[in-house]
Chains A and B, each alone.
Chain A
Amino acid sequence: MADIPEDDKEQSEFDEVLNREEALNPQNPEKDSVQDAASTVVKTTVEGKWQLEFNGHGAELFGILLKNFLLSVLTLGIYYPWAKARQLRYYYGASRIVDSDFQFHGTGVEMLIGLGKAVIVLVFLDLAYEGILSVILNEWLLALTGLLYFLIFFLLIMVASVGARRYRMSRTSWRGIRFRFLGTFKETVILVSGGWLLSLFSLGFYYPFYLSRFQDYWTTRTTFGNIQFSYDGNGKEVFSIWLKGILLTILTLGIYLFWLKANLQRYFWDHTAYGEARINSTLCGGKWLKESLILFLFVILTLGIGRAWAVVRYKKFYLGTLSLEGKIDLAQIKQSEVEMTGATGEGMADFFDVEM
Chain B
Amino acid sequence: MTKTWRGQYFDGRTPTHRNVTVSSDTRGVRIKFEDGTGRFWHKADFWLQQDLQQGPVRLEYGEFPPETLVVDDPEFGRNFGKNLRSRNRFFTPLLALFTVIIFPALIYWGIPSVSGLFARFVPLSIEQQIGQYVIDEIFPNRVICETAAGKQALEKLLVRLTPADSDYEFQLEIIDSDLVNALAFPGGKILIFRGLLEKSPSAEALSGVLAHEMQHVLQHHGTENLLNQTALSGIFKLLVGEANALTETIFQGVKMLSLLRYTRELETEADALALQLLLQAKVDSAEMLTMFRVLQKQSPSLPESFSSHPDTSSRLKKLESLIAENPKFVSEPILSPQSWKSLQNICQIVN
Chain A residues with CB under 8 Å of chain B are: 18, 27-30, 32, 35, 39-42, 44, 55-57, 59-60, 62-63, 66-67, 69-70, 72-73, 76-77, 89-90, 92-94, 100-101, 103, 174-178, 225, 299-300, 303-304, 330-335, 338
Within the complex, what minimum Cβ distance (angstroms) separates A178 from chain B? Answer: 7
| 23 A–B pairs (Cβ distance < 8 Å), ordered by A | A27-B38, A40-B34, A42-B18, A44-B16, A56-B52, A57-B53, A63-B87, A63-B91, A63-B92, A66-B96, A70-B99, A72-B238, A72-B242, A76-B234, A77-B238, A94-B52, A101-B56, A103-B58, A175-B16, A175-B17, A303-B246, A332-B14, A338-B64
Pair count A-B, CB < 8 A: 126
Q: Is the CB of B33 within 8 A of A76?
A: no
Besides the known contacts A89-B51, A176-B12, 12 further A-B residue pairs in the complex with CB atoms under 8 A apart: A32-B35, A32-B37, A60-B54, A63-B53, A63-B87, A66-B92, A101-B51, A103-B51, A225-B14, A303-B247, A304-B247, A330-B16
B243 within 8 A of A: yes
Interchain CA distance A178-B246 in the complex, whole Å:
41
Interchain CA distance A225-B246 in the complex, whole Å:
46
Q: Is the CB of A73 within 8 A of B235?
A: yes
Provide the B20-59 mask, 1 if CB < 8 A to any CB of A, else 0. Answer: 0000000000000111011100000000010111111010
Interchain CA distance A92-B235 in the complex, whole Å:
31
Within the complex, what minimum Cβ distance (angstroms) separates A221 from chain B? Answer: 20
B15 within 8 A of A: yes
Residue ID in chain A nearest B89 by CB atoms:
A59
Interchain CA distance A106-B306 in the complex, whole Å:
49
Interchain CA distance A115-B68 in the complex, whole Å:
30
Within the complex, what minimum Cβ distance (angstroms) separates B134 from chain A? Answer: 26
Chain B residues with CB under 8 Å of chain A are: 9-19, 33-35, 37-39, 49, 51-56, 58, 64-68, 87, 91-92, 95-96, 99, 234-235, 238-239, 242-244, 246-247, 250
**Which residues of B sit under 8 angstroms from A18, Cβ to Cβ?**
13
Interchain CA distance A93-B74 in the complex, whole Å:
14
7 nearest CB pairs, A to B? A93-B51, A176-B10, A175-B15, A40-B34, A63-B92, A330-B16, A304-B243
**Which residues of A sit under 8 angstroms from B38, Cβ to Cβ?**
27
Within the complex, what minimum Cβ distance (angstroms) separates B184 from chain A? Answer: 31
- Report if A304-B65 is in contact (Cβ < 8 Å); known contacts: A40-B18, A175-B17: no
Interchain CA distance A40-B91 in the complex, whole Å:
42
Q: Is the CB of A62 within 8 A of B15?
A: no
Q: Is the CB of A174 within 8 A of B52?
A: no
Q: Is the CB of A300 within 8 A of B246?
A: yes
Q: Is the CB of B243 within 8 A of A303?
A: yes
Q: Is the CB of A333 within 8 A of B95?
A: no
Interchain CA distance A352-B63 in the complex, whole Å:
34
Q: Is the CB of A93 within 8 A of B52?
A: yes
Residue ID in chain B nearest A175 by CB atoms:
B15
Q: Is the CB of B95 within 8 A of A73?
A: no
Residue ID in chain B nearest A176 by CB atoms:
B10
Within the complex, what minimum Cβ distance (angstroms) separates B54 from chain A? Answer: 8
Q: Is the CB of A73 within 8 A of B239?
A: yes
**Which residues of B sit under 8 angstroms from A94, Cβ to Cβ?**
51-52, 55
Partner of A42, one of B16, B37, B66, B247: B16
Within the complex, what minimum Cβ distance (angstroms) separates A77 from chain B? Answer: 6
**Which residues of B sit under 8 angstroms from A60, Cβ to Cβ?**
52-54
Which of A44, A73, A174, A178 has the largest count of B CB atoms less than 10 A from its CB? A73
- Report if A67-B17 is in contact (Cβ < 8 Å); known contacts: A32-B35, A40-B33, A101-B56: no
Interchain CA distance A10-B326 in the complex, whole Å:
90
Q: Is the CB of A40 within 8 A of B11?
A: no
Residue ID in chain A nearest B20 by CB atoms:
A40
Interchain CA distance A249-B235 in the complex, whole Å:
42
Interchain CA distance A176-B35 in the complex, whole Å:
22
**Which residues of A sit under 8 angstroms from B11, Cβ to Cβ?**
28-30, 176
**Which residues of B sit under 8 angstroms from A57, Cβ to Cβ?**
52-54
Within the complex, what minimum Cβ distance (angstroms) separates A337 from chain B? Answer: 8
Q: Is the CB of A176 within 8 A of B52?
A: no
**Which residues of A sit under 8 angstroms from B12, Cβ to Cβ?**
176-177, 335
Which of B10, B13, B14, B67 has the largest count of A CB atoms less than 10 A from its CB? B14
- Report if A330-B14 is in contact (Cβ < 8 Å); known contacts: A32-B33, A62-B92, A70-B99: yes
- Report if A42-B17 is in contact (Cβ < 8 Å); known contacts: A73-B239, A176-B66: yes
Interchain CA distance A94-B56 in the complex, whole Å:
10
Interchain CA distance A264-B243 in the complex, whole Å:
31
**Which residues of B sit under 8 angstroms from A90, Cβ to Cβ?**
51-52
